[in-house]
Amino acid sequence: MKAMLCAGVLLNARGEAIPADITAQATPVAALRDDYRNATEAFLLRFLIGRLGDVTTRDHTALAHVLFRQFDRGVPLEDLEDRVVILLAQLAGYVELSGDVYSLRVPPSARGAPPPYVNAPHA
């Protein structure tokens, strides 16, 4: 739930994203954003890249395991790795690839400000 809150996908009765602040726990959830799954997974991926700082193109399998915790052997690992690549593409405005290392982009307007954790981009 916290990831969904931070991703901005939990909506209040007015259809607005519930802010991730002290009022969040007392705010009734009226709906989910249509793309809640993509937005939440993209938020988690962006968070991991920002927190770990040394995520590379060789880490797609590890990221798939961390993000999806898929234990169904009927789902090919390649499909989960493809999902990671799709999420990374959706994060193009927030994540950049330098050599083989992913890092968070810092927009010029946010230099010196804390990294944004709310409202990961969606498809």
DSSP per position, 67-90:
HH----TTS-HHHHHHHHHHHHHH
pLDDT number for residue 123? 39
How far is 7 from 17, CA to CA, in rounded Å? 9
Confidence of residue 118 (pLDDT cuts 50, 70, 90): very low
Mean of all residue pLDDT scores within the chain: 85
pLDDT number for residue 106? 78
Instruction: List pLDDT tens digits, range 26-69.
Output: 999 999 999 999 999 999 999 999 999 889 999 998 898 888 87
The vertex-59 CA angle with 54 and 62, nearest 5°, equals 115
This prediction has a pTM of 0.77
The 10 Å Cβ neighbour count of residue 43 is 26
How far is 10 from 12, CA to CA, in rounded Å? 7
User: Could you tell me if 58 and 12 are in contact, meaning their C-beta atoms sit under 8 angstroms apart?
Assistant: no
Residues whose CB is less than 8 angstroms from the CB of residue 97 and which lie 6 or more positions away in sequence, other chains included: 57
pLDDT number for residue 97? 93
The amino acid at residue 13 is A
Q: What is the mean pLDDT of residues 84-104?
A: 92
Residue predicted with more confidence, 84 or 117: 84
